[in-house]
Amino acid sequence: MTQLKSIDKGILFMLLSALISALNGATAKLLSDNIDAFEMVFYRNLIGIIIILYALKHTPPILKGGKIHLLFLRGLFGTIAMLLFFYTITAIPLGEAITLNKTSPFFVTILAFYLVNEKININTIFALIIGFIGIVLIVKPFGMVFSYDHILGILGGFFAAAAYATIKKIKDIYDTRVIMLSFMGIGTLIPFFFIELKFYTDYTIWTLIIFMAVISTLSQWLLTKAYSLSSASIIGVVSYTNIPFAIGFGWMLGDLFPDFWTFTGIGLIILGGILVGRNKRS
């Protein structure tokens, strides 16, 4: 009974994280009418730094640290992934942008094969093929016309995977908040050189920026709690609920409802991601 309650809590935390993650994407889409992706990443991470520093002051980290280069790479890869993600949110429907970002499990599997010689069995290869077909159906490269924005969305998934791969290397030597701080620090520094700082007089813009920073930090905390309470295979499946949430938010913001092929592609990516997760844990 205690184990069941733990699983239920983990699923609840993941559902909340998925919903808030989709809401974060919707907020970014609203902001895109006034500020660009670089500004969004800059302000989102700047406010996030304040939140994390307060948390570290309240409860200092106890892990020893080390491998500072991997901590830097986690921040760099995560920043590139976030920039590409925010850009694709402004350029294509929200549901498609979040789905392409969720291709990261496929890239994690491929990177693990090349970087740490992790074995890939026939079932995993089959799952990767399913996911790739799903990507093709969403990007719709028929007639040799490739969507530049969709390709950037896939690149965002790749860099997110690279960031996750570095986290796996340092999660036992760095406090989670320190890892998040490295990501937010680099995510503030890089965009700073590409933006012209403006003082917005519209309080709605600042309200949305602060709201986005708070809920994205909350989403990360909920996700971490979910994985600590329940089986990773269960939580991995539940995490894909942010796609239908994102489709709903996108539709409310004026996105066209996905057509048959896009829906099929989304379904195949979800299926492939679930199968990859199960194969890695079997």
User: DSSP letters of the chain?
Assistant: -HHHHHHHHHHHHHHHHHHHHHHHHHHHHHHTTTS-HHHHHHHHHHHHHHHHHHHHHHS---S----HHHHHHHHHHHHHHHHHHHHHHHHS-HHHHHHHHTTHHHHHHHHHHHHS-----HHHHHHHHHHHHHHHHHH--GGG---HHHHHHHHHHHHHHHHHHHHHHHTTTS-HHHHHHHHHHHHHHHHHTT--------HHHHHHHHHHHHHHHHHHHHHHHHHHHS-HHHHHHHGGGHHHHHHHHHHHTTPPPP-HHHHHHHHHHHHHHHHHHHHHH-
Q: How far apart are CA 176 and CA 266, in angstroms?
A: 31
Range of the domain at 151: 2-281
Contact between residue 138 and residue 150 where contact means Cβ atoms under 8 Å apart: yes
Number of domains in the chain: 1
Nearest to 70 by CA among 174, 154, 192: 174
Kindly state the tokens that stand for 279: 């194969």
Q: How far apart are CA 57 and CA 55, in angstroms?
A: 5
pLDDT of res. 2: 47
**Which segments in the chain show pLDDT lower than 70?**
1-8, 112-118, 139-146, 227-228, 230-236, 277-282
Contact between residue 51 and residue 216 where contact means Cβ atoms under 8 Å apart: no
The model's pTM is: 0.79
